[in-house]
């Protein structure tokens, strides 16, 4: 090609490139247009069914002194049933953000799995879900991984579940066009980092890195030769799988050194919720994910024991404080993270027939008006989140959390219309 022709054609190509829209790996046009407000979001499903009467309205005193300011002491009749916990900080977390005191889980059955599904898909469900099935609508994780620009790996997206059953299935949906390749890494830590878990996936044959490389090479030879019927999308790359295995292996190592024996100094008060948050913190410290969702559900003991429900509410409150402090102590996430705390639903106004040893009747959650009343707390840097703001009127719904996170991470404008029911909680932000 003559020099003049080359210059001419190169110029035309450059011009066309500049004029054409960018086609991203996802197949969509244009990069994300929404500006990021922060680079990390941690969403804590303060779950298990928490009634506003017992949380923000403090009917039995302030059971959440780490999150909420004010309120009196705990009711004397249930006080003997409370565990010894460290004194709360003099600065309740609500001062670092905005508290919606009258948030709503507006539609659908007030079941735990329903509540989790709504919170993670931004879509209310009309039917009572309790199946080991993936959601019908894309999850927050898939929306993030598919529509964020640039696209991020699953190491940046985590679902930390405090129990098994249907909950692990929330890391991706069966919605066409989404699925495992956009899913989150999911871990139910207390099921894995345990004696039982160690007996199955711990105590493994270990290979030196050079041998592991040779094994990978030989496996590559085999996989290349084996023509599968259809290629299967993977959640992680081989390198990230290696990092995940190392993460699990090092948890067992920590367990053997006693790192999980009274890690927070709570003694026997350290319940499953606290351990779940502890492992979420270790994921935060290790991977610094852009998006992490962690839940707690120990307050659900309220079906049979109201006093223990109150005590577990105090522990959940302490765990959130610990989580916040860990985030602020993690380089790369400190002052660049928004923490959102929301129960999945509330509990009934009227009790059931069970009475605990302190004479308090137990509470179910069967979709009455009170079981739809919840709170939402959004905490973050002062330049992003309005500080020490309390919104007392009825504002915000469960389905608004996903759009809010999408807005914070700047991929909201790329989500196809009709996927989400709610809208960002802009009242909470500067």
Minimum distance of another protein from residue 38's CB (angstroms)? 25
Q: What is the Cα–Cα distance from 319 to 312, expressed in whole angstroms?
A: 10
Q: What is the Cα–Cα distance from 164 to 32, expressed in whole angstroms?
A: 35
* 170 secondary structure, DSSP code: G
Which 209-228 positions form the footprint of another protein (CB under 8 A)? 210-211, 214-215, 218-219, 221-223, 225-228
Selected range binding another protein among 77-85, 190-198, 356-364, 418-426, rule: CB under 8 A:
190-198
Q: Which residues pair with 294 in a beta bridge?
A: 44, 160
Q: Which is nearer to another protein, 102 or 181 (CB)?
A: 181
With binding defined as CB under 8 A, does residue 201 bind another protein? yes
Selected range binding another protein among 34-42, 49-57, 185-193, 295-303, rule: CB under 8 A:
185-193
- Strands 389-397 and 185-187, sheet pairing: unpaired
Q: Which is nearer to another protein, 30 or 256 (CB)?
A: 256
Question: Residue 372: how many CA atoms within 13 Å on its side-chain side?
Answer: 15
The residue from 48, 115, 197, 346 that contacts another protein (CB under 8 A) is 197
Minimum distance of another protein from residue 204's CB (angstroms)? 4
Q: What is the Cα–Cα distance from 236 to 252, expressed in whole angstroms?
A: 22
- Strands 373-379 and 97-104, sheet pairing: antiparallel
**Residue 177 has which token pair?**
């066009």
With binding defined as CB under 8 A, does residue 131 bind another protein? no
With binding defined as CB under 8 A, does residue 139 bind another protein? no
Q: What is the Cα–Cα distance from 188 to 275, expressed in whole angstroms?
A: 10
For the chain, the 3-state helix, strand and coil shares in percent, each to the nearest 5, are 40, 15, 50
Q: What is the Cα–Cα distance from 213 to 350, expressed in whole angstroms?
A: 62
With binding defined as CB under 8 A, does residue 196 bind another protein? yes
Selected range binding another protein among 17-25, 110-118, 197-205, 329-337, rule: CB under 8 A:
197-205
Q: Which is nearer to another protein, 3 or 228 (CB)?
A: 228
Q: What is the Cα–Cα distance from 398 to 400, expressed in whole angstroms?
A: 5
With binding defined as CB under 8 A, does residue 191 bind another protein? yes
Minimum distance of another protein from residue 171's CB (angstroms)? 5
**Residue 380 has which token pair?**
């973050």
The residue from 76, 87, 199, 268 that contacts another protein (CB under 8 A) is 199
Q: Which is nearer to another protein, 77 or 196 (CB)?
A: 196
Minimum distance of another protein from residue 331's CB (angstroms)? 26
Nearest to 416 by CA among 74, 143, 176, 164: 143
With binding defined as CB under 8 A, does residue 207 bind another protein? yes
Contact predicate 182/157, CB 8 Å: no
Q: What is the Cα–Cα distance from 291 to 97, expressed in whole angstroms?
A: 19
With binding defined as CB under 8 A, does residue 388 bind another protein? no
Minimum distance of another protein from residue 120's CB (angstroms)? 14
With binding defined as CB under 8 A, does residue 187 bind another protein? yes
Cα angle value 95/294/305 (rounded, 5°): 85
Selected range binding another protein among 233-241, 255-263, 281-289, 383-391, rule: CB under 8 A:
233-241
Question: Residue 288: how many CA atoms within 13 Å on its side-chain side?
Answer: 11
Q: What are the residue ranges of helices labelled H in 329-365?
A: none
The answer to whether the bond into 150 is cis (omega within 30° of 0) is: yes
With binding defined as CB under 8 A, does residue 154 bind another protein? yes
Minimum distance of another protein from residue 226's CB (angstroms)? 4
Question: Residue 1: how many CA atoms within 13 Å on its side-chain side?
Answer: 8
Q: What is the Cα–Cα distance from 398 to 104, expressed in whole angstroms?
A: 6
The residue from 5, 203, 257, 261 that contacts another protein (CB under 8 A) is 203
With binding defined as CB under 8 A, does residue 256 bind another protein? no
Binding residues with another protein: total (CB under 8 A): 47
Which 235-254 positions form the footprint of another protein (CB under 8 A)? 235-236, 241, 244-245, 248
The residue from 61, 168, 179, 263 that contacts another protein (CB under 8 A) is 168
Selected range binding another protein among 202-210, 279-287, 379-387, 399-407, rule: CB under 8 A:
202-210
Q: What is the Cα–Cα distance from 375 to 363, expressed in whole angstroms?
A: 18
Site residues, another protein (CB under 8 A): 154, 159, 164, 168, 171, 183-189, 191-192, 196-197, 199-207, 210-211, 214-215, 218-219, 221-223, 225-229, 232, 234-236, 241, 244-245, 248
């Amino acid at each position: 090609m003559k020099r003049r022709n080359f210059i001419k054609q190169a110029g035309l190509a450059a011009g066309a490139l500049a004029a054409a829209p960018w086609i991203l790996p996802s197949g969509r046009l244009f990069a994300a247009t929404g500006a990021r407000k922060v680079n990390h979001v941690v969403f804590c499903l303060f779950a298990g069914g928490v009634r506003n009467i017992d949380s923000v309205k403090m009917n039995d005193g302030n059971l959440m002194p780490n999150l909420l300011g004010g309120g009196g002491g705990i009711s004397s009749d249930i006080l003997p049933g409370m565990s010894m916990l460290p004194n709360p900080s003099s600065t309740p977390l609500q001062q670092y953000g905005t508290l919606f005191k009258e948030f709503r889980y507006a539609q659908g059955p007030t079941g735990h799995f329903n509540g989790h599904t709504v919170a993670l898909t931004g879509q209310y469900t009309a039917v009572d879900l309790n199946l080991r099935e993936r959601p019908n609508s894309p999850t927050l994780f898939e929306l993030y991984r598919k529509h964020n620009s640039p696209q991020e790996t699953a190491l940046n997206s985590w679902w930390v579940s405090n129990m098994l059953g249907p909950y692990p299935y929330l890391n991706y949906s069966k919605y066409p066009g989404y699925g495992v390749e956009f899913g989150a890494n999911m871990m139910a830590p207390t099921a894995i980092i345990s004696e039982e878990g160690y007996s199955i996936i711990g105590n493994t044959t270990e290979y030196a890195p050079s041998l592991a490389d040779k094994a990978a090479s030989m496996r590559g030879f085999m996989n290349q030769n084996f023509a599968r019927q259809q290629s299967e999308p993977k959640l992680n790359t081989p390198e990230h799988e290696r990092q995940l295995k190392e993460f699990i292996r090092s948890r067992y190592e920590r367990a053997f050194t006693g790192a999980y024996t009274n890690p927070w100094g709570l003694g026997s008060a350290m319940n499953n919720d606290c351990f779940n948050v502890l492992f979420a913190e270790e994921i935060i410290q290790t991977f610094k994910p852009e998006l992490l969702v962690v839940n707690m559900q120990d307050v659900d003991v309220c079906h049979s024991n109201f006093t223990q429900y109150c005590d577990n509410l105090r522990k959940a409150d302490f765990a959130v404080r610990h989580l916040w402090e860990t985030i602020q102590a993690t380089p790369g996430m400190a002052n660049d993270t928004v923490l959102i705390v929301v129960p999945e639903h509330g509990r009934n106004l009227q009790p059931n027939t069970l009475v605990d040893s302190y004479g308090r009747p137990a509470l179910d959650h069967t979709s009455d008006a009170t079981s739809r009343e919840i709170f939402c707390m959004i905490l973050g840097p002062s330049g992003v989140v309005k500080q020490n703001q309390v919104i007392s009127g009825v504002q915000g719904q469960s389905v608004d959390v996903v759009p809010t996170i999408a807005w914070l991470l700047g991929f909201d404008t790329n989500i196809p219309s009709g996927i989400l029911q709610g809208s960002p909680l802009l009242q909470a932000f500067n």
